[in-house]
A and B are shown apart, each in its own frame.
Chain A
Amino acid sequence: MSISALSLVLSRDLKRRPARNLLLGLCVAAVTGMQVAAALLDAASRRGLELGLARMGADLVAVPRGLSDELTHSYMTGEAALFYMDAAVEQKIAALPFVDRTSPQVYIKSLSGASCCSAWNIFLIGFDPATDFTVRPWLTAHRETPLGPDDVLVGAAIASEPGTNIKFYGRQFRIAGTLDATGTGLDTTVFIPIRAAYLMAKESPVKAVKPLDLPESKVSAVMIKLKPKSAGGSPAYRAAYELEMRFPEISVIQPEDFMVRVQKNLAATLGTLRSASYAVWPVTALLIGLVFGMAANERRREIGLLRAMGATRGFVFRMIIGGALIVCGAGAAAGMAAAAGLTSAFSRLIALKLEVPFYWPGMGDLAAILGAACALALLTGGLAALVPAISASRMEPYEAIRRGE
């Protein structure tokens, strides 16, 4: 019997029990959806972390002692971290032999519900355009239009066009450009030249609803670039240890600290999703096997008649396996679409709640995740229906018709 005959029999069989097939499809969709969601979350946070660390540009970040968690939280969520230390610490760090360059940053939070700020509760980062690493790629790419004293750069997630004005603490700034997306909290920050940030603070008692207390002798963090090993540099972990030993007033953050935090924040969610999926998986496989076994048993007479009309054992085998593969394939497609759609739509909320970066994986990674999930669903369906398919294909036509009556 031909492929067209097989598809005809399969389509009639699937239409005959829509509720049963829908239930099986939903089980497969749930398993596949949970697996895809967990894999997407994992891949997206890794990619976001890579991009975020690349944006940060520094090998180490020095912050006031004991406040490293606040900074990692800010970088992940975009919520402002407000702490300050003596600006003189930058000179002390820069003087060390293993340090190549340093750049100061000050952190400010825009006021909430105040007419003197265009956007409320925004994380403002004051940076030094002459020494900064964080927005250096943008500055390098736009060498022909250097930043003016009141020009700011905004993260990719702030919906404001370059050239428009934005106001903080009553001071007007011009948006000079939008930075590339990283999937981290840096996408919702505004980068202000450090001089303008100090001026804004000085003018705030007159121009703003609430004054900003930020003396020029204070900075929030010092970004540190280490010398390469060949030029007498130290590994990041050793440099961090030495810095903390020499300057007890600072804590030093390494890129690994961000990775550890992301892994810690993700662990519970990924664990729950994967465990739920692993728990439902064997039940689904068992259900598929049972349902197709029962269906083959119910259809003894039909299978006997098909065999009597010339259907081969292979045809009957393909009919049972094909039915399982169609149900599992459709369920997997629905599960993958739902997981990818919901993860994509709620990505920012997920990133904020879990405090992890989220940058949608590239096409290669996405294809690998979806392909693996689909293959796994089809394999489950195929293996679960294997026993009923073999037993149905072994039935003798006469015996099957007689016992099916």
Chain B
Amino acid sequence: MKARAVGIAVVALGVLLVLTPWVIFPVCGVGRFAPGPGIAPGMHPCHGTLQAETVLGAAAIVIGFIPVLWPRKKAVLGASLGAAAVAVLAVLFPLAITGLCKVVTMPCRLGTLPALETVATLMMLAAALGLTVYRGLR
């Protein structure tokens, strides 16, 4: 049961990671920040981060399903380490790898970045919880 709970938490956070830059706190030019009719959509620097976070979220969903379907000790360990890696990358992509727009009042810096940091922190907590569960499992 505990192994499955860890997996479900990682899956939920993976879904949140995908939804954040598209729907909840969209990056510039996406969702509620999409340009109006007749205006050509521009390519913002934060769109690289959007794609990276989508892939990372999908990876977290796949990783989380492993202990849900196969609730063993090794599956919990794998999901926890995988979730920790996703959490680190989810912050590294906007801050250092793909980057965001320059001006701090742009939607990607105002909402998306802090939201991604929050999801990454929760993902790290889920990973830590997973490792605690792993130690308790036989």
Cβ-defined contact, A346 with B114, below 8 A: yes
Report the separation of the CA atoms of residues A120 and B102 in the bound assembly, to the nearest whole angstrom: 10
Cβ-defined contact, B102 with A113, below 8 A: no
Residues of chain A in range 331-364 having any CB-CB distance to chain B below 8 Å: 341-342, 345-346, 348-349, 352
Cβ-defined contact, B105 with A78, below 8 A: yes
B109: interface (CB < 8 Å): yes
Residues of chain B in range 95-138 having any CB-CB distance to chain A below 8 Å: 102-105, 109-111, 113-114, 117-118, 121
Instruction: Please give me the residue from chain A that is nearest to B42 by CB atom.
Output: A113
Cβ-defined contact, A352 with B110, below 8 A: yes
Residues of chain A in range 51-72 having any CB-CB distance to chain B below 8 Å: none
- Whole-angstrom distance between the Cβ of A313 and the nearest chain B Cβ: 36
B39: interface (CB < 8 Å): yes
Residues of chain A in range 71-104 having any CB-CB distance to chain B below 8 Å: 78
Cβ-defined contact, B102 with A160, below 8 A: yes
Cβ-defined contact, B114 with A113, below 8 A: no
- Whole-angstrom distance between the Cβ of B51 and the nearest chain A Cβ: 22
- Measured between beta carbons, the chain B residues less than 8 angstroms from A158 are 102-104
Report the separation of the CA atoms of residues A160 and B101 in the bound assembly, to the nearest whole angstrom: 11
- Measured between beta carbons, the chain A residues less than 8 angstroms from B113 are 345
- Measured between beta carbons, the chain A residues less than 8 angstroms from B39 are 113
Cβ-defined contact, B110 with A345, below 8 A: no
- Measured between beta carbons, the chain A residues less than 8 angstroms from B105 are 78, 121, 157, 188, 348, 352
- Whole-angstrom distance between the Cβ of B120 and the nearest chain A Cβ: 11
- Whole-angstrom distance between the Cβ of B24 and the nearest chain A Cβ: 12
- Measured between beta carbons, the chain B residues less than 8 angstroms from A6 are none
- Measured between beta carbons, the chain A residues less than 8 angstroms from B103 are 119-120, 122, 157-159, 188
Cβ-defined contact, A345 with B109, below 8 A: no
Instruction: Please give me the residue from chain A that is nearest to B117 by CB atom.
Output: A345
- Whole-angstrom distance between the Cβ of B121 and the nearest chain A Cβ: 7
Report the separation of the CA atoms of residues A78 and B102 in the bound assembly, to the nearest whole angstrom: 15
Complex partner residue of A349 from B102, B110, B117, B121, CB under 8 angstroms = B110
Do A348 and B109 form a contact, CB below 8 Å, given A113-B39, A119-B102, A119-B103? yes
Cβ-defined contact, B102 with A159, below 8 A: yes
Cβ-defined contact, B102 with A345, below 8 A: no
Cβ-defined contact, B111 with A342, below 8 A: no
Report the separation of the CA atoms of residues A120 and B28 in the bound assembly, to the nearest whole angstrom: 12
Complex partner residue of B104 from A157, A342, A345, CB under 8 angstroms = A157
- Measured between beta carbons, the chain A residues less than 8 angstroms from B42 are 113
- Measured between beta carbons, the chain A residues less than 8 angstroms from B104 are 157-159, 187-188, 348
Instruction: Please give me the residue from chain A that is nearest to B113 by CB atom.
Output: A345
Residues of chain A in range 144-200 having any CB-CB distance to chain B below 8 Å: 157-160, 187-188
- Whole-angstrom distance between the Cβ of B107 and the nearest chain A Cβ: 9
Report the separation of the CA atoms of residues A187 and B35 in the bound assembly, to the nearest whole angstrom: 26
Report the separation of the CA atoms of residues A160 and B105 in the bound assembly, to the nearest whole angstrom: 14
- Measured between beta carbons, the chain A residues less than 8 angstroms from B117 are 345
Cβ contacts A to B, 9 pairs, < 8 Å: A113-B42, A157-B103, A157-B104, A157-B105, A159-B104, A188-B105, A341-B121, A342-B118, A348-B109
Q: Which residues of A approach B to under 8 Å, CB–CB?
A: 78, 113, 119-122, 157-160, 187-188, 341-342, 345-346, 348-349, 352
Given contacts A78-B105, A159-B102, 4 further A-B contacts (CB under 8 A): A119-B103, A348-B110, A349-B111, A352-B105
